[in-house]
Structure 1
Amino acid sequence: MIEHVNPEFFKAFEHYKAMLEQFGKDHPITERAFLLTLHYTPEHIKKEMHQKAKELGLLPKPSGYLDNDTAVYAIEDIAKQLGISIEEAQAQLDNLLQIEQQLGIATGITLVDPNTVNKIQ
């Protein structure tokens, strides 16, 4: 089955690549372009990206699952996987969420109430 892809995704991705080349990956303009690209990324591509990240060992094992079977990750596990401090991981997450809010977009990065997480036994 052929999946529909919003043309805005392609525009956002091209813009992101140009900003990456011009400013580098850690520049605020590049970060915004990345989040816009993620916002327009179709769900089927996000699922493929998530699977590939797991295969490449870029993600820790999930800390638990929500009732809808969505995997959730503890900030401590993400920090360990990335080789950074918990504080640095939290600061990066806070920055991404702030940019989302400023742009008025949603990328799928969400914080959840720990009480709603079904822990892995």
Structure 2
Amino acid sequence: SLRDEDPTSAVRQYNLGAGEDRAIRKGDYVLAVGEVRGDAAAMSTALTASDRLEVLIQRPHVFEVTMEKRGQTTGLSLKFAPDGTTLLVEEVGEGAARRAGLCIEPGDRILCAGGVEGNAKDL
């Protein structure tokens, strides 16, 4: 498991020996487990398939944008995992985000929208 709550977890054990800059933190994104990349279910399976793991982690770069829709759609194509906490921007099409010149790009994740955070379904 990539959770740090359990004192016997692989993450806790790794973090005890890692420097602060290399420790796995809440909010980090798992990009790959071994050779498996881009498929959350397959990466989850890979996490349990071996006693030794090579995991590629990405730290988030958090920034805030303000968008006024003014009757328009956002133009953002989004997806999320049922138990996720963020929305994944798949595409930035015509709409309020593009017209406002916002720096939102495919691959970005939305953590909070309109003061709502914590459950992707509610965002």
**TM-score (normalizing by structure 1):** 0.25
Q: Which structure exhibits the higher relative contact order, with contacts defined as CA atoms closer than 8 Å and separated by 6 or more residues?
A: 1
Q: Which has the higher helix share?
A: 1
Q: Which has the higher strand share?
A: 2
